[in-house]
């Protein structure tokens, strides 16, 4: 009758305070060590003003010259994304534990995939420029490997999350492994895959526009040159055009992806 139910003790406050303190200490330490301080920002402000004033007005006459490299940039992104996406299909299937039961297969494939994903796109580009020489081919390869890693990773996670029911039904029907994948897995994973492909393309257009900095083709080469010659009005034009193209592609891909899922 007289059972006393003790109210649970309120969580201790000091935990919260300690956590915050920890983050602030880390932030301040890092900032001092790397000399990334608000002081630097304030000191740079006048320089920023000068740069901006030199950028305006952008050199509109430069537009015809940069149009072709801009198209090339989008083409590099497109081809690289497509090929990387194609390569990602078999690899993501091999990675998924619900498709390949043997860890002997999926674990090594996952390991390779993770290795590929640790390498940033600009590093890929630098490596391929060293191998294949300056030009868009190296850029395309960089984009290919980068998007392969991204798409394969996202897709195999989507595959592992699909409804196992249709796969079970296909087993019961007497389907072999390939038929099971084509009829039970791909229809379920396809919209996700397409969405990731578009997402990778969005990212890749942005990435491809700076690949030229390491000599891997595209608009980045001209950006590098304009900056080197202190032609900030031309650089502004390049940035403006890149912005427009990226916005258009982003918008288009967002609309398409919403329809897919």
Partner 1 sequence: MKYIILNIESWQIMITFNDVSKVYPNGTKGLNHINLTINEGELVVIVGLSGAGKSTLLRSINRLIDISEGDIQINGQSITSASGAKLRRIRRGIGMIFQSFNLVKRSTVMRNVLSGRVGHHSTLRTVFGMFPKEDHELALDALARVNLQEKAYSRADQLSGGQQQRVSIARALAQQPQIILADEPVASLDPLTTRQVMDDLQRINQELQITTIINLHFIDLAREYATRIIGLRAGEIVFDGTPEEATDDVFSHIYGRPIHRDEVLGANAPGEDIVTVIPDAADIKATSGEPL
Contact residues: partner 1, CB under 8 A: 163, 165-166, 168-176, 178-179, 182-184, 187-188, 190-191
The residue (of 175 and 240) whose beta carbon lies closer to partner 1 is: 175
CA distance linking residue 132 with residue 125, whole number of Å: 10
In the complex, the smallest distance separating the C-beta of residue 153 from partner 1, rounded to whole angstroms, is 23
- The residue with tokens 């990387």 is 84
Q: 242: which 2 tokens?
A: 């890149």
Smallest separation, CB 85 to partner 1 (Å):
19
**Which is nearest to 177 in space by CA: 253, 105, 78?**
105
C-beta of 188: minimal distance to partner 1 in Å?
Answer: 6
Residue number with CB closer to partner 1 (32 or 169): 169
Instruction: Report the residue number, 77 or 180, with the smaller CB distance to partner 1.
Output: 180
Rank residues 234 and 257 by Cβ distance to partner 1 and give the closer one: 257
Find out whether 97 and 225 touch, Cβ atoms under 8 Å: no
Distance CA 41, CA 58 (A): 25
Nearer to partner 1, 135 or 166 (CB): 166
User: Within a 10 A sphere around the Cβ of 260, how many other Cβ atoms?
Assistant: 14
54 vs 168 by CB, closer to partner 1: 168
DSSP assignment of 209-245: HHHGGGT-SSTHHHHHHHHHTT-HHHHHHHHHHHHHH
| Minimum CB–partner distance for residue 167 and partner 1 (Å) | 8
CB of 197 to partner 1, least distance (A): 17
Smallest separation (angstroms) from partner 1 to the CB of 177: 9
Is 167 or 236 the residue whose CB approaches partner 1 more closely?
167
Nearest Cα neighbor of 121 from 99, 96, 138, 104 is 138
Beta carbon of residue 104, minimum distance to partner 1 (angstroms, whole number): 20
Helix axes 232-260, 186-211, angle to 10 degrees: 180
Q: Which residues contact 108 (CB under 8 A, 6 or more apart)?
A: none
């Amino acid at each position: 009758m007289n059972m006393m139910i003790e109210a649970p003790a309120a969580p201790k406050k000091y935990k919260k305070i300690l956590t915050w303190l920890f983050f602030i200490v880390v932030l301040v330490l890092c900032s001092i060590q790397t000399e990334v301080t608000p002081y630097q920002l304030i000191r740079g402000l006048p320089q920023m003003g000068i740069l901006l004033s030199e950028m305006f007005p952008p050199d509109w006459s430069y537009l015809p010259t940069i149009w072709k490299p801009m198209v090339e940039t989008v083409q590099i992104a497109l081809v690289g994304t497509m090929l990387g996406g194609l390569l990602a299909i078999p690899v993501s299937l091999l990675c998924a534990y619900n498709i390949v039961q043997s860890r002997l297969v999926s674990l090594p494939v996952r390991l390779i995939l993770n290795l590929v994903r640790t390498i940033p796109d600009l590093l890929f580009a630098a490596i391929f420029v060293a191998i294949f020489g300056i030009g868009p081919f190296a850029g395309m390869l960089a984009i290919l490997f980068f998007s392969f890693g991204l798409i394969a990773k996202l897709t195999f996670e989507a595959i592992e999350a699909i409804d196992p029911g249709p796969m079970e039904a296909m087993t019961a029907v007497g389907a072999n492994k390939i038929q099971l994948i084509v009829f039970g897995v791909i229809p379920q994973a396809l919209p996700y895959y397409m969405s990731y492909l578009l997402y990778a393309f969005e990212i890749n257009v942005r990435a491809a526009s700076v690949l030229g900095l390491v000599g891997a083709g595209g608009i980045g080469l001209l950006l590098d040159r304009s900056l080197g010659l202190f032609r900030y009005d031309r650089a502004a034009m390049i940035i403006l055009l890149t912005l427009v193209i990226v916005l258009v592609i982003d918008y288009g891909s967002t609309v398409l992806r919403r329809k897919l899922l």
